[in-house]
């Protein structure tokens, strides 16, 4: 048991896109759009948190390799009562980056929750409608590294 031995595998361009959604109260979405969240812009902070998390995935998930990432990109789309996050990760590596993309998107969504939790609590301090869902890998690619 342990890490998979990737010795001898070819370095390829590895890409993965993961997505997920956080359901929030419409009033919370309105405050986010109007830049009225006490802790700052949740999407900006979530983007930074996701980049950091994706790069540190090997520290969080025991069997993941330490992969130097070429890029981590976050995109957000907002509905009336949700924010969807997408995390796109790229690396020239011997193993895939889908776990890095999943960790990135998950931490982005958790960061948003942390920043707006005071808006989401009910009178009993609970979160009856707030939820994170639909976390999945949308796409995974591996192809030869192109020489410029």
Contact at 8 Å (CB) between 25 and 129?
Answer: yes
With helix as H, strand as E and coil as C, how does 21-33 read?
EEECCHHHHHHHH
- 5, 41, 81, 114: which one is catalytic? 114
For residue 101, what is the DSSP state?
H
The three-state secondary structure class of 89 is strand
- Residue 125, helix vs strand vs coil: coil
Residue 76's DSSP bridge partners are 85
The C-alpha atoms of residue 82 and residue 63 are separated, in whole angstroms, by: 32
Question: What does 109-145 look like in DSSP terms, one character per residue?
Answer: HHHHHHHHHHHH--TTS--SS-EEEEEEEEEEEEEPP
Active site residue 114: yes
**Pairing mode of beta strands 12-23, 82-93:** antiparallel
The residues that are catalytic are 114
């Amino acid at each position: 048991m342990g890490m998979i031995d990737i010795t001898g595998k070819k370095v390829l361009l590895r890409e993965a896109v993961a997505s997920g959604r956080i359901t929030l109260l419409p009033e919370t979405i309105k405050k986010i759009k109007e830049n009225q969240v006490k802790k700052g812009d949740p999407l900006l902070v979530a983007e930074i948190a996701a980049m950091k998390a994706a790069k540190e995935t090997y520290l969080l998930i025991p069997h993941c390799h330490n992969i130097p990432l070429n890029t981590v990109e976050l995109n957000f789309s907002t509905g009336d009562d949700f924010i969807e996050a997408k995390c796109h990760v790229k690396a020239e590596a011997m193993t895939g980056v889908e776990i890095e993309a999943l960790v990135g998107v998950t931490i982005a969504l958790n960061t948003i929750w942390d920043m707006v939790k005071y808006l989401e609590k009910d009178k009993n301090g609970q979160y009856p409608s707030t939820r994170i869902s639909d976390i999945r890998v949308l796409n995974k690619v591996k192809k030869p590294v192109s020489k410029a």
